[in-house]
Amino acid sequence: MIKDIDCFILCGGYGKRLKKITGRIPKPMVCFGKRPFLDILIDHLHKFGCKRFILGTGYNADFIKKYYNLNKYPGREIIFSTENKPLGTGGAVRKAKKLILSKHFLVINGDTFSDFNLKNFVKFSKQKKAKVLMLLRKENNNKDYGFVVTNPKSEIESYSEKKSPKSEGFINSGVYLFSREVFSMMPKKSVFSLEYDFFPKIIGNGVYGYKGKGFFIDIGTPERYLVAKKYFLKRRDIN
């Protein structure tokens, strides 16, 4: 049941490329109309039944905490896991281990939006008995994303992060469904990256890709921020 799956959202980055728009505001809290991006992302997940959200905060964490302490939403539990120093995407997930209660849990980048069917995503993971299921998107230009190759069984055969030449293919969209088994598979070091230090090392060990088809955007640059703004305005997510 999706309502029993915890959602961990990575919200700790600096967002240097978006500073002209965000200033000192954490990138996931940049506003689209009257609403911060993180609200739009949580809304999307809540519509599928998600109820428990763990926010992995770091840079200017108090700004995010203050907002969600002042703005309560019925049917949603918001919990904070705060890094005192940057731990990387992998270290941030592991730090939240005690707060993550579900057998399987979502991990989502707090600066990306994917319009996908979460129910089908979870169903696919159960069918494959995946330890890690990664949401993939087809992109004409993969230089800014992790490039992924799968076999006919949807197992990920190779993963390379932001090293591939510009070409068409499937990329990592920053949405994952993890089994709790992944905690025992993580590197021993406290600071590490999912994209560079974890995913490439566990290929062949229950790691699958799910090919999504809906809208996908990373809001990390001013240009992509404007694309996202037009999309959310059309959907009326920002009123």
Hey, which residues does 35 pair with through a beta bridge? Answer: 32
pLDDT at 237: 61
Question: Residue 167's pLDDT band (boundaries 50, 70, 90)?
Answer: low
User: How many whole angstroms separate alpha carbon 169 and alpha carbon 132?
Assistant: 20
Residue 180 has what DSSP assignment? T
pLDDT tens digits for 187-197? 999 999 999 99
C-alpha separations of 68 from 23, 56, 142 in Å: 20, 13, 34
pLDDT tens digits for 111-153? 999 999 999 999 999 999 999 999 999 887 656 788 899 999 9
Looking at the chain, the whole-number percentage of residues with pLDDT higher than 90 is 77
pLDDT at 163: 58
Structural contact between residues 220 and 28, judged by C-beta atoms closer than 8 angstroms = no
pLDDT, averaged across the chain: 91
Structural contact between residues 226 and 130, judged by C-beta atoms closer than 8 angstroms = no
